[in-house]
Amino acid sequence: MTKRHPGARRTQQDHNNDPDDIFLARVLNRGQWARANQQLLTIVGVVVAIVVAGLVYYGGYQDQLVQQAAQELELVHQSFALQDREGARNGLEVFLERFGGTAYEGEARLLLGDLYLQSDNPQQAQVILEPLGGSPRDPIEFQGAALLGAAYEQENRWDDAEAVYLRIADRADLSFQVRNALQSAARIRADNGDAAGAIELYERVLSDMEENDIDRGVFEMRIEELKTAMSI
Tell me the pLDDT tens digit for each residue of 202-213. Answer: 999 999 999 999
pLDDT attached to residue 91: 95
Query: Which of 153, 154, 207, 202 is CA-nearest to residue 182?
Result: 202
**Is 179 a residue whose pLDDT tops 60?**
yes
The whole-chain average pLDDT of the chain stands at 84
Beta-carbon count within 10 A of 180 CB: 18
Encode pLDDT of 50-64 as tens digits: 554 444 444 555 678
**Is 26 a residue whose pLDDT tops 70?**
no
- The amino acid that residue 41 corresponds to is L
Q: How confident is the model over 126-131, as a mean pLDDT?
A: 96
Q: How confident is the model over 110-120, as a mean pLDDT?
A: 96
**Is 173 a residue whose pLDDT tops 50?**
yes
pLDDT tier at 197, thresholds 50, 70, 90: very high
- Distance from C-alpha of 184 to C-alpha of 164, rounded to nearest angstrom: 10
pLDDT attached to residue 231: 85
- The amino acid that residue 226 corresponds to is L
**Is 137 a residue whose pLDDT tops 50?**
yes
- Distance from C-alpha of 84 to C-alpha of 64, rounded to nearest angstrom: 28
Helix axes 105-118, 85-99, angle to 10 degrees: 140
Query: Which of 153, 57, 151 is CA-nearest to residue 109?
Result: 151
- The amino acid that residue 69 corresponds to is A
pLDDT tier at 134, thresholds 50, 70, 90: confident
Q: Which domains does the chain have, with CATH numbers?
A: 66-231 (1.25.40.10)
Determine contact, residues 37/49, Cβ cutoff 8 Å. Answer: no
pLDDT tier at 22, thresholds 50, 70, 90: low
